[in-house]
Amino acid sequence: MYTSRPAFWVSPVMCAAVLVAGVYAALSGLGDTSVPLLVAGLALLVVVDLAEFRRYPVRTPASIAAVLLALRTGLYVGLAYVDGSGLARLLLVLVPFTAFFAFGWRVAVALAVGCLVLAVVSTPGWYAHVEQVSDLVMFAVGLVLTLTMAAVAVRERDGRIRLQESNRTIAELSAAAERARVARDLHDDLGHHLTAIVVSLEKASAFHDREPGTAKAAVLDAERSARRALGDVRESVRSLRPFHLPSALDELVAGQGDVALTVSGSPEEHATGALHALYRAAQEGITNARRHARATRIAVAVELDAERARLTVADDGRGMGAAAEGFGLLGMRERVALAGGRVDIASSPAGTTLTVTIPVAGQA
């Protein structure tokens, strides 16, 4: 929500000053002041100001602003006639001040010149009296100061509006990026597992009568894939909440006796995107070690220091051989690359070591 209209306090403060000066002049017998009319006129000005600011907190539409400006000008002139102190004439500086917010500096400057001409014309013989010359000079200075104040206030208002619009755009882009990330996670994980389930169930259906053992094994494979899919969906939903990599890794390997996990350092200095990429890499590395390398022991190590985050997944399986990388590894490389890191894989018949390194922002 945009900030409220700038410098809204100027008009009420000037009205209060005119009221004090007019009442003092009436009590002291200085000039001819009609206190009831003065109070009523000033009260009406304050009501108009408050009603406008409440209805149009940022900028008044031009047509309505023109009507209100004419109403205020009439009130300023009327107050100048009922105020014996002469201070009410200063309210005319609010004409260009108010116009600046609705019509811009050109209209405001033109009205300021008009107010100055009106003040000169309404003061016959001013050039023969030092006091009146001084009053007109001070009035001109007041016009310049109010125009300057209005220009600064408008610039500040427009700057805040641009800042709020920029913040809203950034928030929308961040939300869109997060939605894309979640969609990518669901597509990569859930799509893979659902495909595996369909294939397994088709296999079970095909071998149901001829080879019941093969069909039963296929059903069990489908069940395992369904459980993995459920786990991945839960992880995707969990990723929408504040993410803590050590806790997530503990949950990932919980109950898996063939996986040894070590974590050193603190994740505080590392971006959430980098930590998510490490978690996904650990998940993919463990899955590949079991499914493809047929490993019996898997060691997962995470090092988090001031310069980089590093994940290592080492297994004692049969290695990758000359097989091409699958979609899982390709997706891992894409995630890590988006976080500004790299993926290294060393494989031999004695086992495979997956290493993911992501520098801290500014350390690359």
Check residue 299 and give its pLDDT: 93
Check residue 58 and give its pLDDT: 65
Distance of alpha carbon 93 from alpha carbon 115, whole angstroms: 7
Check residue 152 and give its pLDDT: 85
284, 276 contact by CB (below 8 A): no
Residues 6 or more apart in contact with residue 132 via CB below 8 angstroms? 123, 125, 126
pLDDT in tens, the chain (364 residues): 344 556 677 888 888 888 888 888 888 877 788 888 989 999 998 898 888 888 877 678 888 889 998 998 898 888 888 887 778 888 888 888 888 888 888 998 999 898 888 888 877 787 887 877 887 888 888 888 888 888 888 788 777 777 767 767 776 777 777 777 667 766 666 676 777 788 788 888 888 888 888 888 888 888 887 887 777 777 666 666 667 889 889 988 888 888 899 999 988 888 888 898 999 899 888 888 887 777 889 999 999 998 899 999 999 888 876 665 677 788 888 889 888 899 999 888 888 999 999 998 755 4
